[in-house]
């Protein structure tokens, strides 16, 4: 069975490239050992960065920035990432989400 572990932020406004880099840096700083590593056809290690995509709900467009992880983060790691994100994006409304196995 395939299980996808991730952390992501969901916003109503598109992030600047610098903000996406900051998001990745925060996650990497807190859970560096849980970042997914992939290999190309030549068996060279390649990192997985931030996947961005859009969706919408009844209130309009949603911009989603997701980092796929190798394993689930702990609640403490999630809290630490969230605190740093709320400090960084203090003037923007967003949600922080992480996968949870149940």
Range of the domain at 51: 5-92
Give domain status of residue 84, yes or no: yes
The rounded distance, in Å, linking the Cα atoms of 27 and 20 is 11
- Our count of domains for the chain comes to 1
100 in a structural domain: no
Q: Is residue 88 part of a domain?
A: yes
pLDDT in tens, 14-32: 999 999 999 999 998 999 8
Q: Which two three-digit tokens encode residue 25?
A: 């840096």
68-99 pLDDT, tens digit per residue, is 888 899 999 999 999 999 999 999 999 999 98
Residue 67 is part of a domain; what is its CATH number? 3.30.70
Does residue 73 form part of some domain? yes
Residue 97 lies in a domain: no
Exposed, middle or buried by CB within 10 Å (0-12, 13-18, 19+), for 69?
Answer: buried
Which run of H or of E encompasses 25? helix 17-31
User: What pLDDT was estimated at residue 35?
Assistant: 75
pLDDT for position 86 = 95
User: What does the pLDDT read at residue 70?
Assistant: 83
Dump pLDDT digits (tens) for 32-60.
878 766 656 676 666 667 899 999 999 99
């Amino acid at each position: 069975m395939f299980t996808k572990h991730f952390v992501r932020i969901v916003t109503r406004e598109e992030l600047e490239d610098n903000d996406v880099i900051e998001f990745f840096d925060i996650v990497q700083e807190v859970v560096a050992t849980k970042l997914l590593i992939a290999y190309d056809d030549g068996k060279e290690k390649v990192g997985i960065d931030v996947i961005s995509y859009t969706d919408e709900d009844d209130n309009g467009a949603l911009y989603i920035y997701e980092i796929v992880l190798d394993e689930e983060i702990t609640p403490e790691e999630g809290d630490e990432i969230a605190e740093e994100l709320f400090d960084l994006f203090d003037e923007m409304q967003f949600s922080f989400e992480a996968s949870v196995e149940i």
